[in-house]
Chain A
Amino acid sequence: MKNSIKITSIILLGLFMVTCSDYPIDDRNLLITDKEACSMTVFELLGPDNRNSLIGTAVIDNDNNTVTAIAKFGTNLKHVKPRCSVEIDCIVTPMMGEWVDFTQPRQYTVISGNRKIQKTYTITVTAQGE
């Protein structure tokens, strides 16, 4: 009985070490994986009402690394909060979800899960009627 407990513990410990050692973490405590995919899939712009201010969906050009979007008439582009979806395990820098001024194009970099591929997107938003 004692022996089987010992053996099970050793196996579990071994498995744990193997699993964890495969994926180190970065300075944001996110796993660095082996994924190479690196792109933005969805982009939205939230207003102070916490609703998407864009008309339709943003156009993401992954060949030229650009995003273009049109915001609703009357959107205050000086005070909006961008958010996006990316390929699995990617990170975005600078972080989205902060209040920013989008009256001029802004750049965000998507970095792959293995942190070896980067794509810097230029995001341009125009408000209707501007």
Chain B
Amino acid sequence: MKTISILLLTAVCFFISCSDDNESLLKNDLIKKTMAPAIAGEKIDFAYAIGTLSGKLATAQAEASIAGAAGTGFEWYSYYTASNEITVDGTRYPGGSEVPVKSVKETSTSGAVSTATLEDKIDEVYMNPSVPHGTRMVDLIAVTLRYSYIVPAEAKGQKVSFVFSAKSSTGESVSYKTPEYNVSKMDMKRLIPLTTANVCYFSIENMAAYTLAEVNSQNLSDKIDFIYIHQAKLDNFDYGHAFVSPGTDPKYIATPNVIPGNWTKNSTRMEKRADVRDAQLKGSIPNVYIDDIDFQTLQLDQAYDFVLNFAADEGAFMKTANGKYAAYVYINRLATGTVTVSIKRYPL
């Protein structure tokens, strides 16, 4: 009898605690859209969906555990997918593309907290795709908001999490807490042009390319990790687009005169990769990413200090001679005497 009473009591407690959630008329859900590693200066995009069965939506808020950099906050627009080609305010949207509709009246970001005050009404097409765009406005009772977090430099190597919340016009509130996301220690710089004619000296520490005059005038020779050379053949052997270190054996340097004798002769270990097409460096699919762990586990002890015959979409893992940085240098494009590279750099 005692056992039955305990079981009944447990069941009642269970129903009471569960019914609280089920009876809430304001619901929310969240998708983290960004799959790429969180690198300082890059975005983490979220889609925050809220809907109410009572009253209208009033406000939304996102609170980050580490305040985002400038640009963090909610967008003013939500989006629906055009079933056929349409033109809105002079802009043509092909079928299948996203069409913006204004869903937010006001946004603000102060410190770690971003808020959005929602519009009272929204274009009906957002709720009912069978209605043509611009037909009429209806109460805003469900919406998916877009929130972008710009990773701040001070978050490098830490974890960041978010609490999203919303309120309806009836005073109800709801929230969603994300798990913690790792913020990378990497730095990244895209689309740096190198030319054999002029700018061909590259510093991994500075993530920048220099001319000979710049290296000399700024006394940067100890920071030069590789030099870009392009020559079809060397001693009748294929040479092509090449990176050599200042300290590379001269027999592998097609134009030895590019390295003045009085420079620091850094020997930068490097190894070519043909199939590592990082989407952040490439700027498009596939969704393959170099992350911190790739640099943490990078072994270049057996590597040479030069790489020859680069093709577009190839790249090279490197370690600076002073052991301060590991890097991946990706070849975005190349032409005679010129390459455009992008770099991910990791402090060791």
Contacts and interface: CB of A to CB of B under 8 A. Distances in A.
Interface of A: 47-51, 72-74, 76, 78-79, 99, 128-129
Interface residues of B, number: 20
20 contacts: A47-B272, A48-B303, A49-B275, A50-B275, A51-B274, A73-B237, A73-B238, A73-B308, A74-B252, A74-B304, A74-B307, A74-B308, A74-B309, A76-B304, A78-B302, A79-B302, A79-B303, A99-B302, A128-B237, A129-B251
Interface of B: 234-235, 237-239, 251-252, 271-275, 302-304, 306-309, 314
Contacts of B252: 74
Given A48-B271, A79-B271, 6 more contacts: A47-B272, A50-B275, A73-B234, A73-B239, A74-B309, A76-B303
B331 to A, nearest CB: 12
A51 B237 CA distance: 18
User: What is the predominant secondary structure among interface residues of chain A facing chain B?
Assistant: loop
Contacts of B309: 72, 74
A99 B272 CA distance: 15
A50 B274 CA distance: 7
Contacts of B272: 47-49
A49 B277 CA distance: 12
A30 to B, nearest CB: 29
B306 A49 contact: no
B237 A49 contact: no
A48 B273 contact: yes
Contacts of B275: 49-50
A48 B299 CA distance: 11
